[in-house]
Amino acid sequence: MLSNKKYKIMVVVLILFASVIFMADQSVSKEKDTFENTIIKETNDSVSAIPDSSVNSETTDNKIFIKGSDTILPVSIAESEAYMNLHSEKEIIVIGGGSSLGIASFIEGEVEIAMASRKIKESEIADATNNDINPLETVIAWDGISVIVNKNNPVESLSIEQLKNIYTGEVTNWKELGGNNEEIEVLVRDTSSGTYGFFKEHVLQDDEYSESAITEPNTEAVVQKVALDPAAIGYIGLAYVDNSVKTIGLGTYDGIFYPEAESIRKGDYPLSRPLQYYTNGQPQGTAKEYIKFVLSDIGQEIIADVGYLPVN
C-alpha cells in the first residue's frame, strides 16, 4: 500500500512539473513573438521615415543664389519676390556685398548669378576660365550714378574735372567751387563696390582716391551722411536718390546734364552705365526662367518702379 501511495504522489509531481514547463514555454514563445513583432514594426517605421528620393523630392534647381552689387540689390529683391509669388515652388536667395564680392563668389561656383554694376575684369574672366566658368553678361537695366550733396549746399553743378579734383584731394574747400567756406567731406564706397570702381575709372581716370576720403559700407550710409552733413559729397545709384539730399548736375563739353531718363538713354549724362547679371554660359533651369522674367514687360516695370531705367 505504501508503495502505491508513493507512486501516485510521484506521478502527480511529474504532471505538475510538466505543466509548469509547458506554461513557461508558452510565455517565452509569446514574448519572443512580441519582441519580433516590435522589431519588425520599428524597422518598418524607420524605413518609412527615410525620404524616398523618387517621391516628393526637390531638385537643387528649384533654389538659386544671386549675389553682388548693392546698386542692383533692390532690383533683385523686388524681382525675386515677384517671381516667387508666381512660382511658389522656387526659392531665390539674394545677397548684397558689392560687385567684386558677387563676381568672386560666382567664379568659385558658389552662386548661379552675380550682380555687377561694372563690367567684369579681364583678370576675373581669366580666374573664371581656370575654374571652368564661362561668364556670360546679361544687361537688365540702365543707371546713372548720381552725385549728391546736402540740400543746403548752394553748388548746383560740377564739371567732371572739378569732381575729379574733389575726389583726388586737389580741391578741399567748397569755396573754391562757389560754395560755402567749408572743408569738403568726401565719401566713397568700399573697394568691393562696382560703383567705386566705375567712378574711379570714369571720373578719376584711374587716379587714386584722396587718402582723407571716408569709406562708407553701403549706399544707404552715403545718403544718410550727406543728408546730415552740409559739407559732404557722395555718389550713389539712381534708385537710392531721395528727397533728403540734392543731386547736382555734371558738366561736359555739350552742357550740364542730370541723371534723368532722357540724358541717360542718349548717353549725354557722363556717368550712365548698364547694370548686369553674369551667369555661367547660357543660364539653365530656374536661373534662365528668372532672368527671362526680369527682361519681360512685368520685370522691366519692376525695374522702373525701383528707380532704374528698363533696357527696352
CA 182 – CA 153 distance, rounded (Å):
10
* Number of domains, the chain: 2
Residue 127 placed within a domain: yes
Structure pTM?
Answer: 0.77
91 φ, ψ to 5°?
Answer: -135, 125
Residues 230, 118 share a domain: no
Check residue 293 and give its pLDDT: 98
Tell me if 67 sits within 8 A of 97, measured CB to CB.
Answer: yes
pLDDT tens track, the chain, 312 positions: 434 434 333 433 333 334 434 444 444 344 444 433 433 333 333 333 323 333 233 436 899 999 999 999 999 999 999 999 999 999 999 999 999 999 999 999 999 999 999 999 999 999 999 999 999 999 999 999 999 999 999 999 999 999 999 999 999 999 999 999 999 999 999 999 999 999 999 999 999 999 999 999 999 999 999 999 999 999 999 999 999 999 999 999 999 999 999 999 999 999 999 999 999 999 999 999 999 999 999 999 999 999 999 998
Residues 97 and 184 in one domain: no
For residue 195, give the nearest of 173, 167, 230 by alpha carbon: 167
In a domain, residue 257? The reply is yes
The answer to whether residues 132 and 200 belong to one domain is no
Is 30 part of any domain? no
pLDDT at residue 130, as a whole number: 97
Q: Do 122 and 81 share a structural domain?
A: yes
Same domain, 265 and 289: no
Q: Find the CATH number of the domain harbouring 150.
A: 3.40.190.10
Locate cell 550713389: which residue? 236
Does 29 reside within a domain? no
Residue where one domain finishes, among candidates 253, 270, 287: 270
Beta strand 113-116 pairing with 63-68 = parallel
pLDDT reported for residue 60: 62
* Residue 61 confidence (pLDDT): 80
185 inside domain:
yes
Q: Is 306 within a domain?
A: yes
Domain that holds residue 241: 146-270
- Per-residue b/e over 129-143, b at no fewer than 16 CB within 10 Å? eeeebebeebebbbb
Do 153 and 252 lie in one domain? The reply is yes
